[in-house]
Structure 1
Amino acid sequence: MAGDYAFVAAPQKDLNRIYRVDRLTGEVGACQYGVKEDNSGVTLCFPPGEGAGKQEPGDYTLIASNHEKESAVFRVEQRTGAMSVCYVWKDQVICTPPAR
């Protein structure tokens, strides 16, 4: 069965990154456009890393701040109000521990 995902763009104005979250599990990933040496395009995706994997089942969404120089987004569990900050670090998405 296909997952139910939410998507949000990173607020950073010069970054073409989109984050996605599985609404039930809270798992977060991200993709962005890249350019190869031959000037052709490629989709670069970053899998879930530390803290970005499956969480307790819930009702998750992503929220981008209005800070135009911020590349991270917030993962929010809408039933409890718990929030994590998620961002790309090296070759994966990592998220801080949930807090309220």
Structure 2
Amino acid sequence: MDMRYPSHPDKVKNFSTEQLRAEFLIPELFKPGELTLTYSHIDRIIIGGASPTNTQPLELTASPKDLGAEFFLARREVGIVNVGGRGTVTVDGIVYSLEKLDCL
């Protein structure tokens, strides 16, 4: 999991475009066959991108050390927006079908 730390507002207001991009852009959010996660200490959020292949489902997991919890949703909620084609999300054995732009 990529970790992002806050920058002081006085520093940020003088950043160049390149510095802003380096500090805040997540350039490879969607990688085929992978789940990518970035933890932002600015808002204490985790943003992720999942791009499953037809042959391999992806599982939402992260290191308990990074999360400060035993499992991913122990201390947080999740929102899922399907920006790709038709897919499914399985939660506690229940399968939810999602079309493009559906939310769960």
TM normalised by structure 2 equals: 0.30
**How high is the TM-score relative to the length of structure 1?**
0.30
Relative contact order, CA 8 A, sep 6+: which one is greater?
1
More helix by share: 2
Greater share of strand residues, 1 or 2?
Answer: 1
In our comparison, the structure showing a higher alpha carbon Rg is: 2
